[in-house]
Structure 1
């Protein structure tokens, strides 16, 4: 056999024969016929079996089944919507009849005011200029004239927000808002939103766009108790709706987003910025839609509204009390029910609420009397023009409960719409200094020389002293003490608080860190969210209201537990009570820090700027008192924030031009050189507090520092500066006997060296890094 044939024979035999089966012997042994083919088949069967096992779940969720389920769900939803569409009819609209009086009661349940006449006058759309009509469309719903009455995306988003507890976040068309105002209510529930959707579709099919727009602008709430565009035009611009300009219409359209917040007469700086931005947005949208020319748009200026007119029956202080109660209730509804500010206002205004206030009749009457006898009776606008520009505001709080028991918002709500009790556009001045000390104590801050800051720490009281940072570099801030008075290079923090020495607290603020100072201010109840940590704020140059400052001092009086003043005792509507937040919060600063500040503040009364008006007041009758005076630059504001163990009251006086509302100086008020915190504010405070505060109450202080447990000590004799114009204001008198006994331990007496008795000569400047001050109470003081 040739080689070729032999090769072919082998090849034929290889195809026929099964591959040899391998064994532990030689490689050529143990190959059974057909072994390889059988092995391949077995392997294939194994793979199929494995694949079958893995694809079991996949067969249950194939894309066809998922698509089928989705389509089925959609069909089910469509079917349900069709059924709902057929079952839900458009109800009779009677929004005006649904408005009810709100009843406001004193804390004892007696009726204070009944507010309920709905301020509304329906006008035909033809009476509203076409250009003004379009401002509302530009503001709320640019596609109004072409849409089907609903925004499906917005509604879906609203439903999801409701289900997730986030509340409404926009998305309603003008038709939907009209349906909500006229046919439904403001409740944020899934069922209400679905009804709104169905009714809006039906209304859009059966009602003309003009009629829908007319219904919308006639039923919307514009603030100031005004429902509808006619009432709003009268309240804000003293004209009928038919005489509104485009600029004025754009403001009213912008106003609907947040009526109270955007009311120019009472809006904060932020509120004015927001409504101005929205006014511009409305006009820009009109240009975009071709409803207003660019030239006309560019020529428009913001139309500042007129001052509001108070509703009848809200004269005197009643209007201020009702207004604050409404504001606090609206805030709670926004927070708990997820509705917008404008919806909350609409739900509160004339909606059948019975609101019981924390206001106590006796205290309210006493506060009003104190302002009248101590201030108003001494003003003579005919004799001195400045006297008509002085505004008073006051808030009195129970520090244990957070209840606002008395409030003074101005001479008369019908004459001065802005409440001076919660306006935040004036500086609290030196009444901010206790916050700086609280921050220092809470953070265990140290001076530049590494000494702990406390009541007896030594600082430089030189007027216009340059403030330096931790590196000893000047920070570019050198505040002047009042009247440019120098108190020497060695004064204790206690003396600095008594005499309100700016140079000391400016340096202390930098020592502590202004970021930490502002953080502490926020914890105590001030609104410092947008403030930068600048040294200038140590002088209290931010804005604050009496209600905020009452909260700060009430938190100190409450041993560091946060107090948020509240005027509402209960709020009930239709048998359902709305739960208000607890005015008493968590421990925001330590008890020791709060009590130490309180102890120091007793020295302001006993031996400082409030001595004449408060400590020496014959009606005091032994009551323990702490407090702080404050007078801002240019005499624009003056304050006294004071407290007894059971009552905290903040009193502020504000210079406000009677015609323009601009801030103005109060020099020469009542014939005096200027208005100081130790003058009228402290006198009002004393006349009120000593008539209603508990007698024989004592501060329960957990501290061994401050004037309440140690007599005030000053290294070198300096004149006591009283802020009350008085012949005795410059006479130095000894400090009062300590007004309380410390509850923890006796004052610490230094053991490192013998006390050094102050001399009449000016002390030499110590070296911060090496020299201990001659202080008989604290060897760790510093300049």
Structure 2
């Protein structure tokens, strides 16, 4: 076969044969006896050889060869370009299909509807939704004030094309991944969302926002867009637009706003409710101050404000808010909490930011049914008036003008907030005392320490299990010890009174600071704070330090009601909820179950409940609660608390069917409303948890709870199942620090833990304990503790 024929044969075989190697040629060295013949690939022998070669190659290359053939750079590049072309084509189609909606401010305002709020029985509580908006021309807003909004939200506003591609892409991706809103929108995009679209977080809405923003930027001037943005934004206090906001926060028209005030309003848009200075928490005030500084610093950076002007500016605190009509009395407090809890739910379900959630709730035609029981609400208001406000005389005692009360009542089996008291009147005190977290809960925190000790199976320094009968040294100012060394913390008991050796039960009854300070170290403060968080307290910004045993972190009556409701509910988490149902456009929002998982064991929770019955029957609340003629045999558990320098006083207690937390707060009635002491208020030498708070609690609770309800406790310790036992002290009580360092060692005679032969009661034993109380009480009212904070002086100021 000639070379031409051989070549044609190879081509017919579908592949080119490999060139002959010298080893395949006849060899003279082999004597010519062996000749290797390589047939062309088109011949049967050639094809077989080719198949064997391909098979061998496949074995040698495994899957790598196939992957390389599948993912060549040409194919990858082609796929990428194809996807890009498809995306561009889809966007062009979307751009051609989506037009700027025909809408205007009047039509938008007309779409807003009043929200209707109802009691749990369906009767109407209030209607809220009168829109406070007035459109102003941008020329009426000073140029420097205009620029505060650009500095706050979109420094490139005057130069961009209306969209932020990175921010929009991030928003779409986060929406697809269920991560919610992430910001990054331009002023144009925010204006389009506020004016033309909804607040929902969907991919289609975000794409529409981007397309409309591009068209708006082409068809409208930057001044028109900025005017639209500042006139349609929600600033809180039911104010829409800069004119309404200027009046609501500073009592002036927009044209008279100063740069400092404009910077605050611009900062406010990020979180209107959280950043409202009057109602903001300490954290909220820090955040809005930082945001205000950020705005002004950006103005300096852009050359819109000189450094010398910037340095001379002081944060412009806004004036007191004026509630809208129809929210007088307690209505405004109830509406505010309902709105906030609904916003929280929309943020979780739809991925909205806080300002987006506010805009989705306020004036949007919601029908919100509350868990508030009309009769219990009226009873709580009546109790506060009878036991507190009617006894305050501002003309006779200046301090009486500084007393604020807050209370929350929760059903422990359902988590429903059935009654709430936020202040004397929403028109007079805009900030709800029921939800404020800027005062210390003081000794109402002690049950949390005991719960942690029981849950962690903690032991004393000498290895004895901590129970209701464990004996501690109750000497005032006793140095706290850890592993034989002092930790630099020695809290004082109320009136510097020393109790000597006392059981945990007696220490809870008498609210002995020194005992619970040592117990906190024995349990481990990290464990204490962990249990506090599980029970419902906000410990996110708190340190696990010994001073926390005195209840120095901030807390609200709403939070404390939830903590004690969890104890009452045998350790199953209770998150108080004021909303029964929320409907919008015939669709109902799914609400979370207020009753959660088991956060501490039933035994731990029930043991704490058992111990807390002793506080009522033989402790700091005995005069106001135990002896109350309206009690009528009701089983009661609870704890008093009085904070540092008498700035707050508490009683949080419960029956088997209802939990109520009452707090009194000393607040200067003149701006800036600093915390003040309550000494002398209502004619009392000192306001503690056993006075007004416990009296309000009893007057309310003994009128709305069942008389035959009983605690079903899974425990063998505490005052509810056995009499209180107090050991004999080795020395007379003294206010001096002992010469010998106290220890937590138990006495030689071990206290008994046997249950009485008769049915357990909460009455005192017939035989008095061997350690008699002093013939004269340290104060004229039931003893309670005053929490002092040597580690963090000035806490809560």
TM-score by length of 1: 0.87
| Aligned mates of 1:162, 1:742 — CA distance in 2 | 63
Picking from 69, 84, 90, the partner of 1:80 is: 90
- Give 2:77's aligned residue: 67
- Give 1:606's aligned residue: 617
- Give 2:691's aligned residue: 679
Distance 1:761 1:36, change over 3 A: same
| Aligned mates of 1:311, 1:359 — CA distance in 2 | 21
| Aligned mates of 1:392, 1:223 — CA distance in 2 | 25
> Conserved in 1, the CA contact under 8 Å of 2:725 and 2:769?
no
- Give 1:482's aligned residue: 494
| Aligned mates of 2:310, 2:27 — CA distance in 1 | 95
Distance 1:15 1:267, change over 3 A: closer
For residue 19 of structure 1, report the CA deviation from its aligned partner.
3.8
SS state at 1:325 partner: helix
Gaps of 5+ in 2: 1-21, 41-45, 734-754, 762-766, 774-797
- The answer to whether the aligner puts 1:119 opposite 2:132 as a matched pair is yes
| Aligned mates of 1:746, 1:389 — CA distance in 2 | 44
Picking from 640, 655, 671, the partner of 1:644 is: 655
Distance 1:713 1:742, change over 3 A: closer
SS state at 1:654 partner: strand
| Aligned mates of 2:652, 2:772 — CA distance in 1 | 35
- Give 1:526's aligned residue: 537
Picking from 208, 215, 222, the partner of 1:195 is: 208
Per-residue CA deviation, residues 24-54 of structure 1 (Å, 9 max, x unaligned), is xxxx78972458999xx99999667766896
Picking from 424, 438, 443, the partner of 1:430 is: 443
| Aligned mates of 2:69, 2:363 — CA distance in 1 | 61
Map 1:126-137 → 2, pairs under 5 A: 126-137=139-150
- The answer to whether the aligner puts 1:299 opposite 2:312 as a matched pair is yes
For residue 610 of structure 1, report the CA deviation from its aligned partner.
0.5
- Give 2:665's aligned residue: 654
- Give 1:147's aligned residue: 160
- The answer to whether the aligner puts 1:498 opposite 2:491 as a matched pair is no
For residue 64 of structure 1, report the CA deviation from its aligned partner.
2.5
For residue 213 of structure 1, report the CA deviation from its aligned partner.
0.3
- Give 1:32's aligned residue: 34
> Conserved in 1, the CA contact under 8 Å of 2:26 and 2:32?
no
For residue 715 of structure 1, report the CA deviation from its aligned partner.
1.6
- The answer to whether the aligner puts 1:619 opposite 2:630 as a matched pair is yes
SS state at 1:406 partner: strand
Picking from 709, 728, 734, the partner of 1:697 is: 709
CA RMSD, 1 decimal: 2.7
For residue 465 of structure 1, report the CA deviation from its aligned partner.
0.7
- Give 1:7's aligned residue: none
> Conserved in 2, the CA contact under 8 Å of 1:525 and 1:564?
yes
- Give 1:454's aligned residue: 467
> Conserved in 2, the CA contact under 8 Å of 1:19 and 1:35?
no
For residue 59 of structure 1, report the CA deviation from its aligned partner.
4.2
Gaps of 5+ in 1: 1-13, 22-27, 721-740, 748-755, 763-783
Per-residue CA deviation, residues 111-143 of structure 1 (Å, 9 max, x unaligned), is 100001101111110011100101101111111
For residue 57 of structure 1, report the CA deviation from its aligned partner.
5.3
| Aligned mates of 1:17, 1:335 — CA distance in 2 | 80
- Give 1:771's aligned residue: none
Map 1:52-451 → 2, pairs under 5 A: 58-93=68-103, 94-451=107-464
SS state at 2:678 partner: coil
> Conserved in 2, the CA contact under 8 Å of 1:602 and 1:627?
yes
> Conserved in 2, the CA contact under 8 Å of 1:95 and 1:181?
no
For residue 504 of structure 1, report the CA deviation from its aligned partner.
0.5
Map 1:559-638 → 2, pairs under 5 A: 559-638=570-649
| Aligned mates of 2:31, 2:238 — CA distance in 1 | 106
> Conserved in 2, the CA contact under 8 Å of 1:103 and 1:354?
yes
For residue 492 of structure 1, report the CA deviation from its aligned partner.
0.5
Distance 1:541 1:37, change over 3 A: same
For residue 247 of structure 1, report the CA deviation from its aligned partner.
1.1
| Aligned mates of 2:580, 2:544 — CA distance in 1 | 37
- Give 1:9's aligned residue: none
> Conserved in 2, the CA contact under 8 Å of 1:429 and 1:539?
yes
For residue 679 of structure 1, report the CA deviation from its aligned partner.
0.3
| Aligned mates of 2:51, 2:593 — CA distance in 1 | 72
| Aligned mates of 1:273, 1:16 — CA distance in 2 | 88
SS state at 1:562 partner: strand
- The answer to whether the aligner puts 1:553 opposite 2:564 as a matched pair is yes
For residue 277 of structure 1, report the CA deviation from its aligned partner.
1.2
Runs of 4+ in 1 over 6 A off after TM superposition: 14-17, 28-31, 35-38, 41-46, 717-720
> Conserved in 1, the CA contact under 8 Å of 2:649 and 2:663?
yes
Distance 1:34 1:122, change over 3 A: same
Distance 1:354 1:31, change over 3 A: farther
Per-residue CA deviation, residues 93-121 of structure 1 (Å, 9 max, x unaligned), is 23212211000000001110000110111
Per-residue CA deviation, residues 662-692 of structure 1 (Å, 9 max, x unaligned), is 0000000012101010000000000000010
- Give 2:745's aligned residue: none
SS state at 1:715 partner: coil
| Aligned mates of 1:16, 1:537 — CA distance in 2 | 92
Q: Which moves more between the two structures, 446-455 or 81-90?
A: 81-90
Distance 1:394 1:742, change over 3 A: farther
For residue 61 of structure 1, report the CA deviation from its aligned partner.
3.9
SS state at 1:541 partner: coil
Q: Which moves more between the two structures, 84-93 or 199-208?
A: 84-93
Per-residue CA deviation, residues 740-771 of structure 1 (Å, 9 max, x unaligned), is x999x999xxxxxxxx9964599xxxxxxxxx
SS state at 1:405 partner: strand
| Aligned mates of 1:665, 1:147 — CA distance in 2 | 55
| Aligned mates of 1:574, 1:285 — CA distance in 2 | 42
